[in-house]
Amino acid sequence: MDDIGARIRAARKEKGWTLDVLASKSDLSIGFLSQVERDLTTLSIVSLSAICHALSVPIESMFSSSSPIDAEPSAVTQANQQLHIQIGGSPITYRYLSGQLPDAPIEELLIAEFPPAFIQQHSSHEGQELGYILRGSLELHVQDTTHELNVGDSYCIPASQPHGYFASATQGADVLMAVTQRFIDLPPQSPQRRGGKEAQ
């Protein structure tokens, strides 16, 4: 969808807004918006979201995707089934690992490094758990269902459902995990500025 600039300009003019008004409502600069409308620059998903919210335009009308964005999410998403989004002529592709997590703030982001043939018995905890296979392969057992996961595959499950893992006998597995329950209270990270000194 390479006519994104024209689409944004049309939506702005339909509201009778100048670039100055849109800049004020989207918190983006007039110069940047002017370049966007003339297709002289590319948009990030963050900037596009700000513009669409300001214009009250559905963001999905402004990009191309590999599948319908309202498709029913599943517990496990194979790499070749993950939603890919590309905005206009941007060289960046956004790959969604799961459906959205409503009212589920991420508390911890970690990598679980499973040694070969490691078995973690079924357990459960609060909130939701999202995982992405970085290396190796893993069997994910959720209640009585088994999912085979390889590099690039992802999953998102209610963590209250008993679940366990069986890592590859030869490679083990590294899994990037995002969970909505805090397991460990780590010291808060201090604001940093360049040079490693704390920001004033």
- The predicted structure's pLDDT at residue 186: 59
- The predicted structure's pLDDT at residue 199: 39
Question: What letters, b where the CB count within 10 A reaches 16 and e where it falls short, cover 54-82?
Answer: bbebebeebbeeeeeeeeeeeebbeeeeb
pLDDT digits (tens, 9 = 90+) for 10-48: 999 999 999 999 999 999 999 999 999 998 988 888 888
Q: pLDDT band for position 70 (50/70/90)?
A: low
Average per-residue pLDDT for the chain: 83
Q: pLDDT band for position 99 (50/70/90)?
A: low
- The predicted structure's pLDDT at residue 14: 96
pLDDT digits (tens, 9 = 90+) for 47-64: 888 999 999 998 888 877
Using the predicted structure, report yes or no on whether residue 188 has a pLDDT greater than 70: no
Average pLDDT over residues 180-191: 64
Using the predicted structure, report yes or no on whether residue 121 has a pLDDT greater than 90: no
Using the predicted structure, report yes or no on whether residue 84 has a pLDDT greater than 90: no
Token code pair at residue 176 = 């990037």
- The predicted structure's pLDDT at residue 189: 54
- The predicted structure's pLDDT at residue 125: 82
* DSSP assignments along 77-99, one per residue: E-GGGSEEEE-TT-S-EEEE-SS
**By the 8 A CB rule, do 43 and 115 touch?**
no
Using the predicted structure, report yes or no on whether residue 127 has a pLDDT greater than 80: yes
pLDDT digits (tens, 9 = 90+) for 135-178: 999 999 998 899 999 999 999 998 889 999 999 999 999 999 98
- The predicted structure's pLDDT at residue 194: 40
Crossing angle for the helix pair 30-37 and 45-55, nearest 10 degrees?
90
- Distance CA(80)–CA(176), nearest Å, equals 18
Which domains, from first to last, does the chain contain? 4-96 (1.10.260.40), 108-179 (2.60.120.10)
Which residues lie across from 179 on neighbouring strands? 108, 129
Angle at 109 between CA 107 and CA 114, to 5 degrees: 130
